[in-house]
């Protein structure tokens, strides 16, 4: 069967690395296509296993890829023709394998997406799919649909897919508490992977927010010790609530990241989502604030350690790093998050 995952813009390579690391040595797996925010692959194993991919925002079963789409309305005929011929038996079996409850009379809704100039509109695309599936005896339901059928036309390609994941696949069950500007778990996991986790890591997030990065590190691999801190008491409470009694040993501290109460040269990895503006604390100059953070980070990290820093003000961080003699940005990964462009910096010390 053919599947696709959607990922945050910029994390396509890291998503590819995750699924290749899991399934790349198996004859059950083969990447077919990689496009912006999407990876399409063949997989013959249990589809339920794919729901645990931590970089994926959504998981889809690709029922049909229709190439050679044109601007003409005749392209709609190709989609309608496929829907009329296909009985969806295999697709429904896959849905049931991942735990979806599909009734004998299938209820569905259609989500349509389209890019490029066409001689038809998105609503035309949606209506022809709805009509074809209703003709098969399916039941159109916008409020309580059993299946979400996605029909997309981009460039020369059309895709008819069924979403296998719940809308909150990219969220985690541990997120009981939130704080403002909390980080998406898929991005937090990607940052953790960029730190190259090791079982002896003493791992620090000095601005831990709701603890998302720390929790992704705890779930990813063994470690020696987790340390988290934040200037907000609300954030420390949220982190403690999200951790509960799991993942020991760890310590969460209410502090100011400009003066870290940690022994010098004691931390192996620092992974952190830097503040997006000067509202983080009393400092009115973001450049000075970034310098203070980096000074503290460099003080507590061991020689040869690694920092993974997300900045939504990447030009400023890049400028400051280039002025440093002891910090080197080995890798940079651009992402789009919350409608803004940011960058993840992998810094060697």
Domain ranges of the chain: 2-163, 185-348
In this structure, are residues 185 and 171 in contact, taking their beta carbons and an 8 Å threshold?
A: yes
The set of residues, in sequence order, having a beta carbon less than 8 Å from that of 288 and lying 6+ positions away, is: none
For residue 249, cis peptide bond before it (omega within 30 degrees of 0): yes
Number of H-type helices and E-type strands within the chain: 9, 15
Question: pLDDT tens digits for 298-341?
Answer: 999 999 999 999 999 999 999 999 988 889 999 999 999 888 99
**pTM for this model (two decimals):** 0.92
- Low-confidence residues of the chain, pLDDT below 70? 277-284
Please tell me whether residue 198 adopts helix, strand or coil conformation.
coil
For residues 328 and 323, give the distance between their C-alpha atoms in angstroms, rounded to a whole number: 10
Predicted pLDDT of residue 283? 45
Can you list the positions of beta strands (E) in the chain?
2-6, 29-35, 38-43, 58-66, 107-114, 139-140, 147-154, 157-163, 202-205, 225-230, 250-254, 267-273, 301-311, 328-337, 340-348
In this structure, are residues 299 and 180 in contact, taking their beta carbons and an 8 Å threshold?
A: no
For residues 301 and 280, give the distance between their C-alpha atoms in angstroms, rounded to a whole number: 22
219, with CB counted inside 10 A (0-12, 13-18, 19+), is middle
CA distances, 234 to each of 17, 138, 172, 202, 289 (Å) = 35, 48, 20, 24, 22
- Residue located via tokens 């309305």: 73
Query: 185-348: which CATH topology?
Result: Rossmann fold (3.40.50)
Predicted pLDDT of residue 282? 45
Query: 2-163: which CATH topology?
Result: VC0802-like (3.30.2130)
Predicted pLDDT of residue 277? 63
Please tell me whether residue 265 adopts helix, strand or coil conformation.
coil
Predicted pLDDT of residue 280? 45
């Amino acid at each position: 069967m053919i599947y696709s995952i959607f990922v945050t813009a910029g994390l396509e390579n890291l998503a590819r690395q995750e699924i290749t690391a899991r399934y790349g040595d198996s004859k059950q797996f083969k990447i077919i296509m990689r496009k912006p925010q999407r990876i399409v692959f063949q997989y013959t194993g249990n589809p339920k296993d794919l729901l645990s991919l931590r970089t994926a925002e959504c998981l889809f079963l690709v029922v049909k890829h229709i190439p050679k789409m044109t601007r003409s309305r005749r392209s709609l005929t190709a989609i309608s023709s496929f829907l009329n011929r296909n009985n969806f038996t295999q697709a429904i079996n896959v849905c049931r394998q991942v735990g979806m409850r599909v009734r004998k009379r299938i209820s569905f809704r259609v989500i349509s997406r389209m890019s490029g100039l066409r001689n038809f509109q998105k609503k035309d695309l949606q209506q022809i799919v709805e009509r074809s599936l209703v003709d098969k005896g399916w039941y159109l339901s916008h409020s309580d649909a059993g299946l979400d059928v996605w029909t997309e036309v981009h460039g020369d390609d059309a895709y008819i897919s069924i979403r296998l994941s719940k809308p909150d696949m990219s969220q985690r069950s541990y997120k009981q508490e939130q704080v403002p500007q909390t980080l998406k778990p898929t991005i937090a996991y990607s940052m953790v992977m960029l730190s190259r986790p090791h079982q002896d890591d003493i791992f620090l997030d000095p601005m831990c927010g709701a603890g998302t990065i720390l929790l992704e590190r705890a779930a990813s691999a063994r470690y020696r010790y987790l340390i988290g801190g934040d200037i907000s008491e609300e954030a420390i409470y949220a982190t403690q609530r999200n951790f509960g009694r799991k993942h020991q040993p760890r310590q969460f501290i209410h502090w100011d990241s400009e003066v870290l109460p940690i022994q010098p040269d004691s931390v192996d990895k620092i992974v952190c989502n830097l503040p997006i503006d000067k509202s983080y604390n009393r400092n009115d100059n973001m450049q000075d604030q970034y310098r203070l953070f980096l000074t503290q980070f460099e003080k507590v990290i061991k020689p040869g350690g690694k920092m993974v820093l997300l900045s939504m003000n990447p030009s400023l961080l890049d400028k400051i790093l280039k002025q440093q003699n002891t910090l080197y940005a080995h890798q940079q990964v651009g992402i789009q998050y919350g409608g803004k462009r940011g960058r993840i910096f992998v810094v060697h010390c």
